[in-house]
Amino acid sequence: MSAKKVLLDQYDLHNVLYNNVLADITDAESGKCIADPMNCVKWLAGHLAWAQLNLGNIGGVPVDFAWRDHFHTKQGATPQDLDATPSELPALQQIKDKWNEMGPVIRNGLENLPDAALDTVINIPHPIFPFDNTLGGLWAFINHHQAYTIGQIGILRRGLNKDAMKYS
């Protein structure tokens, strides 16, 4: 199995888990802070969708995301994020809809990425060792980030008295 196939399989799993972890959470519940200084479900869901922009760039399919100003982080922000026009905070359903709209487009770009491109050295350092500064290393880090953040939402789900996230 190729490295790209493994990365794509993880991408596909994250698309399933993203929707599952947000199932049955209302917009009002998604904005609740369970405990300071924890992020709320809505911010985490939006941040995950914002992070998809990086995967779109890797796959050569830049996608639009209207709420860049709400969901970026200082460490990962681009000049585009920092200069984004202020926008209204979206409802959780809008964020989920945008995730599901972007997903197939991004996946297609990633699937069409030549395997050899994963070894391309990039000029954008990402924050975690042992991932190297290649396109494949960045993609692997983003996949880890997505899984970690989905797990955070899973914990917050339980704090909202929801059933545990389902894998199917």
139 located within any domain: yes
Contacts of 125 (CB under 8 A, 6+ apart): 133
Specify whether the CB–CB gap between 1 and 115 falls below 8 A.
no
Query: What pLDDT is attached to residue 59?
Result: 96
pTM (2 d.p.): 0.89
Number of independent structural domains in the chain: 1
Query: What pLDDT is attached to residue 35?
Result: 83
Average pLDDT over residues 55-83: 74
Tell me which residue range forms the domain holding 136. Answer: 3-159
53 located within any domain: yes
167 located within any domain: no
pLDDT tens per residue, range 112-137: 999 999 999 888 766 666 778 899 99
Query: What pLDDT is attached to residue 70?
Result: 63
Cis ω for the linkage preceding 79 (within 30 of 0)? no
Contacts of 5 (CB under 8 A, 6+ apart): none
129 located within any domain: yes
121 located within any domain: yes
pLDDT tens per residue, range 16-60: 999 999 999 999 999 998 888 888 999 899 999 988 988 999 999
135 located within any domain: yes
Pick left, alpha or beta for residue 122 (phi over 0 → left; psi -120 to 50 → alpha; otherwise beta): beta
Average pLDDT over residues 69-80: 62
What CATH number did the domain enclosing 30 receive? Answer: 1.20.120.450
108 located within any domain: yes
Whether residue 64 is predicted with pLDDT greater than 90 in this model: the reply is: no
